[in-house]
Structure 1
Amino acid sequence: MIAVIDYGMGNLRSVQKAFQRVGCQAEIVRDPAAVAAARAVVLPGVGAFRDAMANLQSAGMVEAIHRVVAAGRPFLGICLGLQLLFESSEEFGHHRGLGIFPGTVKRFPEGELKVPHMGWNQVSVTNASPLMEGIPDRSAFYFVHSYYVEPADPRLVIASADYGLTFAAVVGRQNVYGIQFHPEKSSTLGLRILENFGKTVRA
């Protein structure tokens, strides 16, 4: 079973239904014990980094997440869930994240481009990963975000996108992955990525 964490910050039902469409059993969970016991975990999210971390802390999810990661079970962060995997964010001040990956979250610079970055954008695969199996290079996915991650270790970057600057669109190391775009809103190829994650659970 894939546990989709409910901490009051995500479009949980659409993520759950997308997994179900590709044949993966996914359940929305609010109990940290259920998260810690799950075969795999997904951390979705939309909204502010600070509020999300506060909600995870108050729900007792931070320790459960670290237990899943330390146990080597598959873990996937989506959009804000990706950003929370990093050490800190500059959104509305300086706030600590989960610290699973080194790096920080920064705002897109003001200028000619509109912020938030919203809509379909091409993604360039830079490192091979099971998560991107069957995904052609320069495929388009659906983004909605004002902030992007800047990993301290460039080897974390699996795929990148360009919006005024080049930023990490997919990151990963060992059993932990993060996606800045919304695979559940990205048609067939987005579903393929979720299916690929499901394969890591069954492996």
Structure 2
Amino acid sequence: MIALIKYNGGNVSSVRNALERLNVSCVITDDPEMILKADKVIFPGVGEASSTMKVLKEKGLDTLIPDLKQPVLGICLGMQLMCGSNEEGNTKGMGIFDVDVKWFPPKDLIPHMGWNTITNLKSPLFSGIEENSDVYFVHSYYCGLSDSTASVCDYILPFSASLQKDNFFAVQFHPEKSGYTGSRILNNFINL
């Protein structure tokens, strides 16, 4: 069973639809027992960091997620909340990844929105994916480069397009909106 974590963030339905296109069923839940029993967990997100973290704390998910042992995939805000501090709302994240989330310097259009290239692919998520593949981004905050960086994108500055540490995987882009490449990444996660 694939559990999609339910909270006040958006995009859960888009991720569910992307999984259905892959003939993968899932359950949308905030029930800790169901999340613990799941084979894989996806933590999607579109929203604001501090209000989302408040909801996760109210449901006890802020302490549950870092202790999960099965493969976990954070998407966009999900990835950012798996990191340390976050400049959006001066939010303390879950600290799974030792990297902070910062606001893009205002040197170009913000948010970073649309298709962009990922390079330096270093994760099983990218099996069968070519260097310089394009994926779809929508974000104003970014995760810096770190030991956990699993791919890089360059917009205003180089940043972590994805992260990986142990059983935790995270992508800043939206695989559910990234065509063939995104479907392949989701499929790779499902088949870990």
TM-score range, shorter chain: over 0.9
The C-alpha deviation readout for 1:147-196, integer Å capped at 9, x for no partner, is 00125xx2211110011100100110121100000000001110000000
Structure 1 counterpart of 2:15: 15
Q: Give yes or no for the alignment of 1:145 onto 2:142.
A: no
Give the whole-Å Cα distance in 1 for the aligned partners of 2:39 and 2:50: 28
Q: 1:90 aligns with which of 72, 87, 92?
A: 87
Q: Which structure 1 residue ranges, 4+ long, deviate > 6 Å from structure 2?
A: none
Structure 1 counterpart of 2:111: 116
Question: TM-score, normalising length from structure 2?
Answer: 0.96
| Contact in 2 for aligned 1:36/1:67 (Cα 8 Å) | no
Q: Which runs of 5+ in 2 are unaligned?
A: none
After TM superposition, list the pairs within 5 Å mapping 1:120-199 onto structure 2. 120-127=115-122, 129-151=123-145, 154-199=146-191
Give the whole-Å Cα distance in 2 for the aligned partners of 1:3 and 1:63: 17
The alignment covers a number of residue pairs equal to 192
Aligned AA (1:116): P
| Per-residue deviation, 1:61 | 1.3
The C-alpha deviation readout for 1:87-116, integer Å capped at 9, x for no partner, is 110113x221011111110000012x1000
Give the whole-Å Cα distance in 1 for the aligned partners of 2:58 and 2:20: 29
Question: TM-score, normalising length from structure 1?
Answer: 0.91
Secondary structure in 2 aligned to 1:103?
Answer: coil
Q: 2:98 aligns with which of 99, 102, 114?
A: 102
Secondary structure in 2 aligned to 1:166?
Answer: strand
The C-alpha deviation readout for 1:29-61, integer Å capped at 9, x for no partner, is 121221122111111111111111101011221
| Per-residue deviation, 1:126 | 4.1
Quote the RMSD (CA, aligned, Å).
1.2
Give the whole-Å Cα distance in 2 for the aligned partners of 1:66 and 1:82: 12
Give the whole-Å Cα distance in 1 for the aligned partners of 2:10 and 2:73: 14
Aligned AA (2:126): M
Give the whole-Å Cα distance in 2 for the aligned partners of 1:33 and 1:25: 18
